[in-house]
Amino acid sequence: MTKIPPTDHGVPTTDAGVDGRIHTPNGGDGDREIEYDTVTTPVLVVGAGAAGARVAIELAESGLEPLVIGKRDHGDAHTTWAAGGINAALGSLDEDDWTIHAADTLKEGHHLNDPEAVELTAKHMPDRIRELAEWGMPFDRTEDGEINQRYFGAQSSRRTCFVGDRTGEAMLETLIDRAQALEIPYRDNVMITRLLSDDTRVDGAVGFDMETGRGLLFRTNHVVLAAGGFSALYHRHSSRADENNGDGQALALEAGARLVDLEFVQFHPTGMVGERYGEEWDGRLVTEAVRGEGGRLFNAEGERFMERYSPNQMELDARDVVARAIAREVREGRGTEHGSVYLDISHRDPDYVRERLPTMVERFGDLGVDITTEPMEVAPTAHYTMGGVDIDFRTGETGVDGLYAVGETVAGVHGANRLGGNSLAETVAIGKLVGAHVANAVTSRDRVPTVTGAQRALAERELQALDDLAAAEGSVRPIDLLEELGDLLWDTAGILRDEASLREGLAGIAELRARTADLRVDGDRTSRSFEYAVDLSFSLTVAETMLRTALERTESRGAHYRTDFPETDSDWRATLVLSADEDGLRVRRRGVADPSEAVRDALEGDHELDYHHLE
């Protein structure tokens, strides 16, 4: 992509002639003057990871020049942390087709998935993999030159394509190279804080340049949210602390869109353990590829405990099953002194481990652990959020004109629990479809959109609110509230939940929200303190929505486990749709459609992974 600096006047343009200045009273010190730039673009893509990049590529190939923005340096998106692989029914090693891929996805999602979303993803993924290979993605290959595929949990075949254990990094590099060849404009280190919406349509966005602090008004009639999920709300998670904090979901909800499936948070079974490896590494992902290549789980007593919970699929059962098994082992006193279990791949040939898992070998080696000869300590970590914005998967439409969403920002493909390897798949399969639709929706008028007086007034109120926030001189640091929120959610809405804990969580959210009235921001709008203050608003909003839907769903299904309702209830095969109005948050049920006949046939077929190939 082609970087657009703050003063660039190409397309998209920074309209220096109409830069805004807000004069506002500042007590006895005279008026404050808040300056901001107005940027014009036919399509604004919020998020520079795989989903945003694939949407932008499709837009550019259709003749448009979208603007892609990200909160970090370009190429430093969370996609790089998706290590293990990406699913596609290529059949390189085992018999496979898209209907079986779809069936596995529906089973893993406990049949709460949007069947159309699942089928679109499964159908399109073989072509998307071949496309990535054509663009230069260096997939691991078999001896006869086919794209190699590995075992991943809860799959009926070896379906997961990979680049060692750095698949997401390689994929994002490939997409960025393609975007740069198309000269797609982007700006990094920009945060969006509000969409300009009257609840029926979006006509732009407001944010700020995180390097300069200068306010930004984006003038556009089409906004695509590709801003990730909200797993970083939990204190132990596999994201960086400044990513996946719910900004995409909160922005959409405030703009008038609906959210669904917020109660479903996937806890990856194998995160690093801070008590063993240091706080910096607490919760960092130990890729499922370790288990996919034959890694075994043992408790502190040396028992291979998955024999008790899943004697057929063992360590490669669904992520929710394995995560709950580990949690139970620890809770019942069979964990290590660090509250963890052991993941061991030392029975495999050391050279094989180094070839297939180079990042894991290097990371643990830096910490003094040779995984080719000794086990790792692991425990569950918040990893992925199945819930998000409610969209039409053929178009990305949210129900708010001009607003679209894609990637982990949305819900539907994964249902109650995500099949490993499907997150990267969704970004490119659905990203291409959304990009094509948005390209067709852009009119000649949209290429030079205008901002009405009312919209500019809304934008200036938001910029003034940001300036007020930056000047906050209370006694509570935003980072402290975020850390308390992480502990609260881990304790009340973690792997195991019940009514009492969820109500405790909601009460805790209310108390944290009250304390935001006494915030203290240290530094200006370029400071990390100010960034955390903005994050806090998004995070509290999404945490409340998650707790409310988790309280509403009185059953256990997939990643949502209620100890007071431990069984799955067939009457609860419905999604919970959440919206906001002047009276607050509203939750309602919505039924789930049935899959196509071809996928129903696959569901009835005898397709099951033979885990013991790895023994």
List active site positions. Answer: 268, 291
SS3 sequence of 403-445: EEECHHHECCCCCCCCCCCHHHHHHHHHHHHHHHHHHHHCCCH
Left (φ > 0), alpha (ψ -120 to 50) or beta: where does 228 sit? left
* C-beta of residue 387 within 8 angstroms of C-beta of residue 259: yes
How far apart (Å, rounded) are the C-alpha atoms in residues 435 and 431? 6
How far apart (Å, rounded) are the C-alpha atoms in residues 33 and 51? 37
> Using the 8-state DSSP alphabet, how is residue 272 labeled?
E
**Through-space distance between the first and last CA atoms of the chain, rounded to whole angstroms:** 45
219-237: b (≥16 Cβ within 10 Å) or e: bbbbbbbbbbbbbbbbbbb
CA distances from 222 to 1, 95, 182, 359 (A): 19, 42, 20, 39
CA angle, residues 28, 30, 34, in degrees to nearest 5: 130
Instruction: Quote the tokens at residue 379.
Output: 């425990």
3-state helix, strand, coil in the chain (%, to 5): 40, 20, 40
Task: Give every CB contact of residue 311 below 8 A, 6+ residues apart in sequence.
Answer: none
Instruction: Quote the tokens at residue 458.
Output: 């809304």
Task: Give every CB contact of residue 443 below 8 A, 6+ residues apart in sequence.
Answer: none
